[in-house]
Structure 1
């Protein structure tokens, strides 16, 4: 099978494009991208694709870069393929931004490719990465430390910025590509920077891979197979993680929460993947979070781990354990409303309903006899109206608040009541308390009522209150 046939087979197998698609080919002028351009233009000539060329001159190697631009422009014209180029002053940009040179170049290069795709009306951008590039990538990540996703190397297609990045040459070897160029009289340029050992990838290609190949002559092919296997398994685990996410994760604005018990019930691999998926949803800045950080968050959900705990995961995300709940919160969301200012609502004798008390609503009814309605849960309470001092007040906790607990001698701190009830720390500051005008704490809805204003069989005027959490 020649490379043209291999390209078409790979495209069909991995569904890289459909007949009639518009594709922008990223062409640097090297043998890989020039061969890709030739193969894609062959499909264009028989009406299967619409192809355009985008070329970036980064401005590092002034004379070489000019020659590369000219070679790509002239060959695109020879093939009848629309051409667009940009010349950048990357040395000046790097000095201005203090960014890593390779990262900055990638950022500007891809920005131009996205713009070119938009102007050409293309849905896909074709990149010329090949099997040798894949082997280098896997080995680089292995040496730096990586998981299954890193071992998958570069994927054959990935959606980004409303276009799909495709790599139809990932299983083609460099030597076969150069031979293809020679056989078809395809011009190309050699990048002199590829021989400089200042770049880690060049050290991998020039020194480390040749050295390791002494022990396994098929090492590049082995690394390519590893990427294929890891990629397929990584994709399967991602699908399982997405399914798990929909089953056990509760989503609210700027926050994702999962039961610690639910999380522990799944395989450790899915636990780690789920945490990474949640972090990725909250912030793209968490993509490079370390294994140790993910493991710390996973172990925070362990059965014997502290019931309340928190850590900053970076990129503005905080992980918080509150009893059985493991919450992942954007730091801005955590500070907005969670550490609430004091609030207070006055309840006069004629009040019937109060809504929006920190996510609670209250219904006040006056009844003539305790026998006509009795509390059915801790979210309902009855008080002897004759013993209440109006106006009543609904407010959140203040330092030193105490309640005269029914059935106990003396009083107890509200904070201690919250701890006993395992109320999440993030809820305590917002939780509503009911006081009378004398400052007596009458009721902590859903938790405990006080010993004050108790009703008896012959109580005539009763205040019945029902609390509802939204």
Structure 2
């Protein structure tokens, strides 16, 4: 085995790119990089017991030229005894229909086809022919557009997508070495004429920007690749730390998650930013498009001097709320769904034993017993009422504007809204917490907050109703 294969095999084992016996789909454009990769994998197929499938996409941009490339790939795969799947797309028509960027549209269709081929053959991985010069271009382009440490990592040697591993075996090999390999092994390849056209940003970076920077540092490509490897390792470590913090500090809920403000402030600023992005990703936001400003807005909203109640539309169906010391991240309701804050009301006839409150993520129990057997409430989530003094049917609902309660121990009435503020009830919870109302419209009890002076248990009371609210975390 020559140095080429020895190095590739060592890299594959180090990075666990494949396992012996795997089926590998090789994405082959017809250029020198992908044709060399196909040839290398073919030479390794025997010792590694790999089953290879070549997959080629004709995007329909270059007419006869791209048709010739497709035929050359088919012929070379046949000469190597490798199964070959090809497809031709009418990308110009697709772009006109979707209004997508040409490169984004081409990538979308290309990767969809590669995944389809992988699924049809039961492949474990898709091999892509990106090389070290591609990596240098990617890092530089991200620098020019503005990126964080994760962006500096560039393309990954290996990453999972749709239950298949995307692998890049040539990511540490430079273009010049690939061309020498093609010459040494007489590997045929085509030259894509569009690679010389400067209306693509990557082509401008490759043809003009990198050569200009090389006048200051002849090893600029190597420097950028080295930067990507350093950033990748550090990004991976930080990501592991962030996931550990996420599991330690966040509380998952049915529509998002929350964490304590002081827990966030206790982290290093780098972990604060990463944790915010990880939470946004957890609730379904595409964080690749989340701006630094959005993350920083959320981070600064947790500061001691910031408003104690505040909300921010992050975009993409995500919303952030600061509610005193709670930081809440929620998925907003999809179109056509009824918001949990749109209001609810349940009629409770006499004799009801249990009421499930989906909107409040709780249940309310009603238990009748002799007054002599009733113990005092153990918390503000329990309350006792004189069974004979209760006016049925009761209603359990969320608050409505103007609600007031005749609070036990106070003269007159007090606004429910003011009680919520006094008790520091989070704004997002104020519209879902239940109020127990009697048939006369009096607010009897707000579980966890206060009870009214109506239907008090007296010395003459013979039977009582014990109401108990259990929250979702306490339910079996």
Task: Place the TM-score, normalised by the shorter chain, in its bin.
Answer: over 0.9
Aligned residue runs from structure 1 range 226-237, under 5 A: 226-237=227-238
| 4+ runs deviating over 4 angstroms | 384-388
Structure 2 match to 1:73: 74
CA distance in 2, matches of 1:5, 1:89: 41
CA distance in 2, matches of 1:462, 1:305: 50
Q: Which TM-score applies when normalising by structure 2? A: 0.92
CA distance in 2, matches of 1:225, 1:368: 78
CA distance in 2, matches of 1:386, 1:125: 74
For the 8 Å contact 1:352–1:365, the answer to whether it is kept is: no
CA distance in 2, matches of 1:344, 1:338: 14
Deviation of 1:385 (Å)? 5.1
CA distance in 2, matches of 1:69, 1:122: 22
Deviation of 1:388 (Å)? 4.3
CA distance in 2, matches of 1:453, 1:196: 84
Structure 1 match to 2:474: none
Structure 1 match to 2:98: 97
Structure 2 match to 1:53: 54
CA distance in 2, matches of 1:283, 1:380: 37
Structure 1 match to 2:178: 177
Structure 2 match to 1:307: 308
CA distance in 2, matches of 1:333, 1:199: 37
CA distance in 2, matches of 1:442, 1:255: 32
Aligned residue runs from structure 1 range 202-351, under 5 A: 202-283=203-284, 285-332=286-333, 336-348=338-350, 351=351
Deviation of 1:46 (Å)? 4.0
User: How many equivalent pairs are there?
Assistant: 466
Structure 2 match to 1:406: 408
Alignment of 1:361 onto 2:364: yes
Q: What secondary structure is seen at the aligned counterpart in 2 of 1:376?
A: coil
Q: 2:450 aligns with which of 448, 458, 467?
A: 448
Compared CA separation, residues 434 and 190, structure 1 to 2 (3 A): same
For the 8 Å contact 1:345–1:394, the answer to whether it is kept is: yes
CA distance in 2, matches of 1:76, 1:388: 84
CA distance in 2, matches of 1:355, 1:451: 23
Structure 2: give runs of 5+ residues left out of the alignment.
472-476
Q: What secondary structure is seen at the aligned counterpart in 2 of 1:85?
A: strand
Structure 1: give runs of 5+ residues left out of the alignment.
none
Structure 2 match to 1:34: 35
Deviation of 1:327 (Å)? 1.9
Cα deviation code 1:76-119 (max 9, x no counterpart): 12211111111111111111211110000001111111111122
Q: Which TM-score applies when normalising by structure 1? A: 0.93
- CA RMSD in angstroms comes to 2.1
CA distance in 2, matches of 1:391, 1:256: 36
CA distance in 2, matches of 1:323, 1:341: 24
Q: What secondary structure is seen at the aligned counterpart in 2 of 1:222?
A: helix
Cα deviation code 1:286-317 (max 9, x no counterpart): 43111111111222222332222222222212
